[in-house]
Amino acid sequence: MRISIAALWLVSQLAAGSAFAQAAPPNEAGVTMGHWHLNSRDVEANKKLFVALGGIATKPGDFELVKFPGVFVFLHLRPGSAPATGGTVGTVINHVGLTVPNVAESVAKWKAAGLPMQPGGNGRTDQAWITTADGLRVEILENKTQTAPIQHHHIHYYLAEAAIPEIQAWYVKHFGAKAGMRGRNQSADIPGRT
């Protein structure tokens, strides 16, 4: 069984720069989702892909950053750090998610730009997938009501079914997450995921 748990980042740790990438307001515990940090073996290829999806690239200090509404994507490989060695499918962080107002239109645009898009599962037209140079799988979902062309949605953890109640309770206790369901998956929602 898979679980969707919105990961977190303390708002005070991020300088919110432009409104385009501004993190969601924190919950009562002072927590919000605000970034993905990729220990990247190919920073330039990942940056190119995220910018083609609609992110805005910037470089504050040592990190390459790509900003989307609701999330900063940090791309970096510190000297002496090992780069990513495999993809995310089947690991604890199975994939991350973004939403767009119209999946079919976005996919057509991205395919025309040369991005390697994959179709949604089970013939779904409101879902698509892309995999970064480091093997990070990114789910694209449709949200017809959103006004941004693309925005952060979720981080999907993949855990043994027996571990789900414990990790859900841990996020609720330590970060003020709201326990619930997202479709057939248990979730622990933190501001910053829609």
The pLDDT tens digits of the residues spanning 40-93 come to 888 999 999 999 999 999 998 888 999 999 899 999 877 787 777 788 888 888
Mean pLDDT of 107-121: 95
Claim: this prediction has a pTM higher than 0.85: no
The amino acid at 19: A
- Could you tell me if 162 and 66 are in contact, meaning their C-beta atoms sit under 8 angstroms apart? no
The tokens for 27 are 């919950």
The residue count of the chain comes to 194
- Could you tell me if 33 and 193 are in contact, meaning their C-beta atoms sit under 8 angstroms apart? yes
Q: In 3D, which of 117, 183, 192, 125 has the Cα closest to residue 155? A: 192
Model pLDDT, residue 20: 54
- Could you tell me if 157 and 168 are in contact, meaning their C-beta atoms sit under 8 angstroms apart? no
Beta bridge partners of 35: 72
Q: Under CATH, domain 2-189 is a member of which superfamily? A: 2,3-Dihydroxybiphenyl 1,2-Dioxygenase, domain 1 (3.10.180.10)
How far is residue 81's CA from residue 83's CA, in Å, rounded to a whole number?
A: 6
Q: How far is CA 21 from the centre of its chain?
A: 13
Model pLDDT, residue 175: 83
Model pLDDT, residue 185: 79
Domain extent listing, the chain: 2-189
Residue 39, pLDDT above cutoff 90: no
Q: In 3D, which of 38, 37, 8 has the Cα closest to residue 23? A: 8
Beta bridge partners of 93: 157
Higher pLDDT residue, 177 or 14? 177
The pLDDT-based confidence of 22 (bands split at 50, 70, 90) is low
